[in-house]
């Protein structure tokens, strides 16, 4: 399985691969479920190798550690999944 950081970098920097519609599913501890957001709702802070910033529909944001990312979808097809514990 490809490491999550490597896949996120490929989505960001490989123009051909990144042209698809991507969604990220992460575990939200407060809601106790996996929340799926589009890649357009994700901000990558320079130098931050441990988390992503997710911008909510209302404009607020929160940090999501990379270890809480559980799924990546490309054109609605599951292409990456963290093994369940």
pLDDT tens sequence across 34-67: 999 999 999 998 888 999 999 988 889 999 999 9
18: buried, middle or exposed (CB in 10 Å: 19+, 13-18, 0-12)? middle
Average pLDDT score over residue span 8-27: 95
Full residue range of the structural domain in which residue 30 is found: 4-77
Its pTM stands at: 0.89
- Per the domain annotation, does 83 fall within a domain? no
- Per the domain annotation, does 20 fall within a domain? yes
Q: How is the beta sheet containing 61-65 ordered, strand by strand?
A: 42-43, 51-55, 61-65
pLDDT band, residue 31 (cuts 50/70/90): very high
- Per the domain annotation, does 85 fall within a domain? no
Q: How many domains does the chain have?
A: 1
- Per the domain annotation, does 48 fall within a domain? yes
CATH of the domain at 23: 2.30.30.100
- Residue 43 CA to residue 54 CA, distance in Å, equals 6
pLDDT band, residue 85 (cuts 50/70/90): low
- Per the domain annotation, does 45 fall within a domain? yes
């Amino acid at each position: 399985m490809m490491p999550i950081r490597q896949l996120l970098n490929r989505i960001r920097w490989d123009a051909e691969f990144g042209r698809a519609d991507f969604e990220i599913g992460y575990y939200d501890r407060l809601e106790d479920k996996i929340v799926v957001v589009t890649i357009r709702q994700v901000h990558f802070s320079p130098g931050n190798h441990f988390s992503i910033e997710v911008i909510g529909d209302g404009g607020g944001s929160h940090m999501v550690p990379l270890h809480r990312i559980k799924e990546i979808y490309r054109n609605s097809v599951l292409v990456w999944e963290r093994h369940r514990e």
